[in-house]
Amino acid sequence: MLYGLLNRAKAQTATTGTGTVTLSTAVAPFQTWAAAGARNEMQYEYLIEDGTDWEVGFGTYTASGTQLTRNLIQSSTGLLLSLSGNATVACCSTANDGFSQTPIVEVTGQYYPPDTMVFGTSTGSTTANTLHFYPFSRRMLMSGVSMEVTTPVAGSNVRAGIYSAGPKGLPANLIEEGTPVSTATTGIKDVAFAASLRIYEPVWLAVCYSHIPTTRVGVIDAGASRIMGSTTMNVSAVSNRYSASFTYGAFPADTSGLTLSLTSGTAIVFAKAG
């Protein structure tokens, strides 16, 4: 399980008992969970302190009502604490994280493919007015979403971004949408975020084209020593993305209004490290 991390998030809670906690004001000099960037439906590890008692666990954050569910990892009593109404809840990392002893560091400017990919150099047709979601589970500092256009279309553009994985693993909430770019010329197109994001949990790479350019399924940029990635998937047997009909434009804040369906194909996007 991958959990989100927040900087200096610690809040008061007036919750009593062993159930979901409601997070309120920040404990000085910390900040509230919301101010620290907590995202709806994402899981975080926490430390609850209530007098001399403590509880370490993990839970799902809900932005509406600023609530956090509780699942016990360890506590001073061996059980979920029955809270007094005067406890504090901090975001923390624990020995439960399972971080690798040997760090795997992404290379700035390099491109990383979605999950279940192998490398090749073919091309594939895109689809206009369709929002595609590709699973991506690598932990990395991501600067944007990229693709390489091999057959451009005059006046065409592409939008791209990332969505969180919801409780069932499906695309859920928009995390970031990059600045749209033109696909009217050939070459690698980087849809850049306003600022690079550190990705700690599985996300979905999202892309939508206004027209139907052809893109590279994989490319090796030997001059810059960058591997863009590719796929040679058995498209008759493997569904490699979710798709939904969507009129080209700004991405929706969540997928609740979309009808998602499993689809297969070769038009691929990549996460750019930076």
Are 80 and 183 found together in one domain? Answer: no
Q: Are residues 116 and 168 in the same domain?
A: yes
Helices (H), 121-223: none
pLDDT at 166: 84
pLDDT (mean) for 9-21: 96
Question: What distances in angstroms separate CA 49 from CA 26, 56, 108, 188, one per listed residue?
Answer: 14, 9, 40, 50
Same domain, 117 and 79: no
Please state which of the ranges 60-64, 169-173, 197-201, 227-231 shows the lowest mean pLDDT: 227-231
Residue type, 133: F
Residue 141 pLDDT grade (very low, low, confident, very high; cuts 50, 70, 90): confident
Predicted pLDDT at 108: 82
Contact criterion met (CB below 8 Å) for 152 and 213: yes
pLDDT band of 199, cuts 50, 70, 90: confident
Beta bridge partners of 26: 11
Asked if 133 and 229 sit in the same domain, the reply is yes
Cα–Cα dist 168/238, whole Å? 19
| pLDDT higher than threshold 70 for residue 17 | yes
Which range has the top average pLDDT, 38-42, 207-211, 213-217? 207-211
The CA-based angle 182-187-191, given to 5 degrees, is 50
For the record, the structure tokens of 194 come out as 């306003």
- Residue 207 scores a pLDDT above 90: yes
Instruction: Give the model confidence (pLDDT) of 120-139 as tens digits.
Output: 567 778 889 999 999 988 87
pLDDT score at 43: 83
CA–CA separation, 236 and 104 (whole Å): 33
Picking from 101, 11, 1, the residue whose alpha carbon sits closest to that of residue 45 is 1
Q: Which of 91, 119, 141 is the last residue of a domain?
A: 91
Which tokens is 188 given?
A: 């690698």
Average pLDDT taken over every residue of the chain: 84
d(CA 119, CA 159) in angstroms, rounded, equals 24
* In a domain? residue 173: yes
Domain of residue 56 covers 10-91
What the block records as the tokens of 78 is 């061996």
Assigned domain for 72 exists: yes
- 87 and 118 inside one domain: no
Structure confidence by residue, pLDDT tens digits, 169-192:
889 999 899 999 999 999 999 999
**Is 3 among the domain residues?**
no
Say how far apart CA 200 and CA 99 lie, in whole Å.
Answer: 11
Residue 99 lies in a domain: no
Note every long-range contact of 94-103, with CB atoms under 8 Å and residues 24 or more positions apart, other chains counting: 94/45, 94/56, 96/45, 96/56, 96/58, 97/3, 97/45
